Structure 1
């Protein structure tokens, strides 16, 4: 089985990729800082700055989480006992 002549060889493709590497690095490395008055737009959750919570808000969130986990444990227990 042979490869057609119109497809580049592996060495040619590797050479082409190495040649464009600097161009891609320059394009990605450009200063893409936003101006202060520009809207930020969508950002992934892990890149967003944290919003500070009060102690009461933290405790309320933990209380809701604890209740949710206890209810899930009850459902698992009921499902296990029903078999």
Structure 2
């Protein structure tokens, strides 16, 4: 799968650094948002696997990761895009 860039919720303002983003890419690397800055270790990282998506805390790269099935992850991202987790409601 080719790199298609980072995706952020449309409910996030352009200047907001408090967002979770995802990126679809080829390979098995852990990815973090381009909004995170070079040395920022206060991020959520994601990794695509075969039928699963891994999520971990960048402050503890050797620590546990949460692995979610691809269908569950797609549902989660869809609900974010739909604003289901928007606290401003």
> Hey, which of these two has a bigger chunk of helix by percent?
1
TM-score range, shorter chain: under 0.3
TM-score computed with the length of structure 1 as normaliser: 0.20
TM-score computed with the length of structure 2 as normaliser: 0.19
Structure whose CA Rg is larger: 1
